[in-house]
């Protein structure tokens, strides 16, 4: 499998898990058996932080198109420039090694 396929699968699984978590969270908060008067301050804080975490995971997955990060043109050009610099350095080092007499 290619790396991007694995990233997309992980993104889809995370998205479905977080959607399920949010549905579960609302069902717990809105159920008659567990009305909000039975929850203490700590439980409400934990549930709200879990909601915030789930929402940010969902937004991250959707904004990055299921984990596939797209580089801007400037980032692509900088990466290509860095690659060319390394190739030039490698070529110079090879030439220096060829010029040196072996012992």
Mean pLDDT rounded to a whole number for the chain? 78
Mean pLDDT of 27-42: 67
Q: What radius of gyration do the chain's Cα atoms show?
A: 26
67: left (phi over 0), alpha (psi -120 to 50) or beta: left
- Please tell me the predicted confidence (pLDDT) of residue 91: 94
- To the nearest whole percent, how much of the chain has pLDDT over 90? 14
Of 28, 25, 17, the residue nearest 51 (C-alpha): 25
Domain residue spans of the chain: 1-70, 71-103
CA–CA separation, 39 vs 69, rounded Å?
40
- Please tell me the predicted confidence (pLDDT) of residue 92: 93
Is the pLDDT score of 75 beyond 80? Answer: no
Query: In 1-103, where does DSSP find H-type helix?
Result: 3-30, 41-63, 73-99
CA–CA separation, 50 vs 28, rounded Å?
13
pTM for this structure?
0.48
């Amino acid at each position: 499998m290619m790396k991007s396929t694995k990233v997309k699968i992980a993104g889809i699984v995370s998205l479905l898990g977080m959607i399920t978590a949010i549905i579960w969270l609302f069902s717990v908060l809105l159920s008659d058996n567990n009305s909000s008067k039975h929850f203490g301050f700590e439980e409400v804080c934990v549930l709200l932080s879990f909601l915030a975490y789930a929402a940010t995971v969902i937004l991250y997955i959707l904004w990055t198109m299921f984990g596939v990060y797209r580089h801007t043109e400037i980032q692509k050009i900088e990466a290509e420039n860095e690659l060319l610099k390394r190739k030039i350095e490698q070529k110079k080092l090879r030439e220096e090694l060829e010029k040196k007499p072996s012992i």
